[in-house]
Structure 1
């Protein structure tokens, strides 16, 4: 605990979607999803400190210009607006803070870096303000900020349904090794979903039914439970991959190169454009990375991460 802390730092993992099954767009404009989230060891750090008014700074290798609509700021303001039932004697009267993000997750890369910032901010501010709030209450609040934000708090591996925000945790029996290949330019998630809808209308792809999606989930979960990298590679799937490839054709070259170099599996993460290559083990991941670097690609070598947003000592 940090009984008198004036500053709190949290660490939150980015994610890969091992499976992303997308249904037909509903009347509300949203697509029903069935996904398997997999946290990886590329983290966002969020540092909060008491302040009289909201402030935001962004540092790190993946920085972007701060703006008032940043998801971490939105998370803080949302928590402040709902905090009254959770106040304690140690809670400050004015709920505001300075927030500093140290970004490592590729920006706009389909790995939920912004959602990780929001999740980390919720956990950090709850501690900073000494709120008597449970982790589940924070998860529920996170769902109001975006479909990926609750997973940032829970971490590990989880099945997401609905819009991806209804989570069921999954046990993975081993650490999996990945080589991530970021792209130089972000991809817009709304643009990828719009392209998905266009391709459905053209008959180029078919939305996945819930029954078919759950059958695909079973194969992923079986592979995770067995700790079988080869079986996991065979069960990877992303219904947004084809739409993303039509918007960013060069990603296909990365997928093909990964296969050529012997990756166990390859997938575009989420709406892209980051490509995730599954390796057999740490040695294999290092070799894949070196081969990709030699061909001019940026790489991030990482592994499974078993914790969601948590306070650093």
Structure 2
């Protein structure tokens, strides 16, 4: 008997923050070796795949996110994900992909990578392809350094360009206040500025042992002391307001402020949910229009009931 295919599949994928981002000197191929510790936090995009005659993408977003600069063609990672998945199975995949965005665009939180990971899972389920986890991870690595982690979620060590991920021990529940920026910051430019500031950077990135040890304690104060981002200096040098924002959040009581990835989003670690809500309120009263509260770690890309 022929199995009927679903009428729609919705997959949720979480934003990531880098608890540790150690960057090595640029290689001959233009990439930087990384040692990073990712954490998926409860700020998510949903991607819903509907049957359609062609492959198409639609966008919607919360009112403070500008999606005007997001491409709907091959420049969109979700479209590229569909193409790669189709190539793997020897067929052109079709479907209407509706991306509902709550992750800031160009914010250092890997929203595009989350959408790509979600698209892989959604189209696999929509077309009943039964793609293996290993194949999905391989396709994800071809799409970008952060995409494999968006599939896996939780807390994980990333090596290589960040695309080789391994789950790590994490006994805590961590609370974050997230302050995005309406103006993105170019990741390639931040890396180029890292090279300008550190022309003699060690080709081996700093290891994450201190951070991994802090995760095993489950203590927010220990984690705050261990947070590390080699891209924070170049990001702040390019946009000094980020440094001022970190100082403000810490003055308001955050355990630690940190640029997320290449920025410009800044995240603040808090002691508890109540502490995070209090800090978020203080930041909003000081004039920040968008301040978010999220916990971590949360699951990677997973199917949720389709919207009615």
- Pick the TM interval, shorter chain: over 0.9
Deviations 1:30-63 (A, max 9, x none): 0000000010000010001111111110001135
Query: 1:19 and 1:181 mapped to 2: Cα distance?
Result: 19
Which residue in 1 is equivalent to 2:163?
Answer: 165
Equivalent residue runs for 1:63-74 within 5 Å = 63-65=66-68, 66-68=71-73, 69-74=75-80
SS class of match (1:143): helix
Task: State the TM-score, normalized to the length of structure 1.
Answer: 0.92
Q: RMSD over aligned Cα, in angstroms?
A: 1.5
Equivalent residue runs for 1:98-247 within 5 Å = 98-201=96-199, 207-208=201-202, 210=204, 213-214=206-207, 217-247=208-238
Q: How many residues align?
A: 297
Query: 2:236 and 2:215 mapped to 1: Cα distance?
Result: 27
Query: 2:243 and 2:197 mapped to 1: Cα distance?
Result: 18
Which residue in 2 is equivalent to 1:79?
Answer: 85
The 3 A distance-change label for structure 1 pair 261 and 70 is same
- Contact (CA 8 Å) 1:245, 1:252: kept in 2 or not? yes
What is the aligned counterpart of 1:311 among 261, 283, 303? 303
Query: 2:260 and 2:93 mapped to 1: Cα distance?
Result: 36
Query: 2:4 and 2:170 mapped to 1: Cα distance?
Result: 34
Which residue in 2 is equivalent to 1:40?
Answer: 41
Task: State the TM-score, normalized to the length of structure 2.
Answer: 0.93
**Where in structure 1 are there 5+ consecutive unaligned residues?**
85-92
Alpha-carbon distance, 1:209 to partner: 5.3
- Contact (CA 8 Å) 1:13, 1:305: kept in 2 or not? no
Q: Which runs of 4+ in 1 moved over 3 A?
A: none
Q: Does 1:276 align with 2:267?
A: yes
Alpha-carbon distance, 1:207 to partner: 2.7
- Contact (CA 8 Å) 1:63, 1:103: kept in 2 or not? no
- Contact (CA 8 Å) 2:83, 2:92: kept in 1 or not? no
**Where in structure 2 are there 5+ consecutive unaligned residues?**
none
Which residue in 2 is equivalent to 1:90?
Answer: none
Which residue in 2 is equivalent to 1:50?
Answer: 51
SS class of match (1:101): strand
Query: 2:297 and 2:48 mapped to 1: Cα distance?
Result: 20
